[in-house]
Amino acid sequence: MLLRTAMCLLLAVAARGQVFEVASIRLHPVAVNQPIMKNPDRNPIRISGNRVELTMIGLKGLVMAAYNVKEYQVSGGPEWASRIDSLWDIAAKTPGDGQAGIESVRMMLQDLLTERFRLKLRRETKQLPVYNLVVAKGGPKLKSASETSSAVRGMRRGSMDQLAALLSVMVRRPVIDKTGLPGNYDYSNEFAEFDVGAQDWADTISRTLTAIRDQLGLKVEASKAMIETLTIQGAEEPTKN
């Protein structure tokens, strides 16, 4: 009887996937007037040995991290999830003493969201209007990250996929890397960093896309694509501990 019970528990854990050995969830102390900086190309999951941390992250950001999707792929969610005082700090420990891989940690985070946030998701694939990031006429004007110093002030380095993610936040539409350019590049903060609170949003977009064309030799083209989406159908604030 005891063996059968133990086997049932093991099968239940296997069905749910890998789980954290222990996890602490606490509200991040945020001042009312503290700005929340968006950095869509940053992986918020920090792994050090068997320790995992995520800091100052909301429910939508947690879903993005756990399922490795972009911001435009996640919608829905309860009212509390969009409040500035609903940002979380998570500290967890993975099983064993070695360092867990990022995919294993994502699976554990998915389990954590289901168990502690009571997260319910609906997956769909939809045809959505998108922009394709392509090479403009005349070819790219990019400098490889290996050609410049990472310490150069006013420069940002990253892949074309990361640049597309930054543009997606700005134009509020999926931007898909179709440049075919591998590796990392340095590109100016003039278009990698933008004022998300700018009043003249259309002007900000126009100036940024012009800079991308003139300085990087890239452009965006309107298109449509089948995109996997996640809709948050339900979630609860976790018990803090």
Query: What residues does 122 pair with on adjacent strands?
Result: 231
What is the pLDDT, as a whole number, of residue 119? 97
- Kindly report which listed range (51-65, 113-127, 179-193) carries the lowest average pLDDT score: 179-193
User: What average pLDDT does range 62-84 have in this prediction?
Assistant: 91
Q: Quote the pLDDT of residue 191.
A: 55
Give SS3 for 212.
helix
Percent pLDDT > 70 in the chain is: 77
For residue 227, the surrounding DSSP H or E stretch is strand 218-234
Per-residue pLDDT at 11 exceeds 70: no
Instruction: Kindly state the greatest CA–CA separation across the chain.
Output: 73
What pLDDT, on the 0 to 100 scale, is given for residue 129? Answer: 93
Q: Pull the structure tokens for residue 50.
A: 């068997």
Alpha helices in 17-72 (DSSP H): 59-67
Residue 32: pLDDT band (50, 70, 90) is: low
Would you state the pLDDT for residue 89? 95
The C-alpha angle 87, 102, 179, rounded to 5 degrees, equals 90
DSSP collapsed to 3 states, 101-147: CHHHHHHHHHHHHHHHCCCEEEEEEEEEEEEEEEECCCCCCCEEHHH
Written as one letter, the residue type at 227 is: I
| Cα dist from 107 to 53, 56, 89, 100, whole Å | 15, 20, 18, 11
Q: Are 126 and 120 in contact (CB under 8 A)?
A: no
Band of the pLDDT at 241, cuts 50, 70, 90?
low
Q: Which of 2-16, 88-102, 201-215 has the lowest mean pLDDT?
A: 2-16
Whether the pLDDT of residue 192 is over 50: the answer is no
Q: Beta 51-57 vs 88-93: how paired, if at all? A: antiparallel
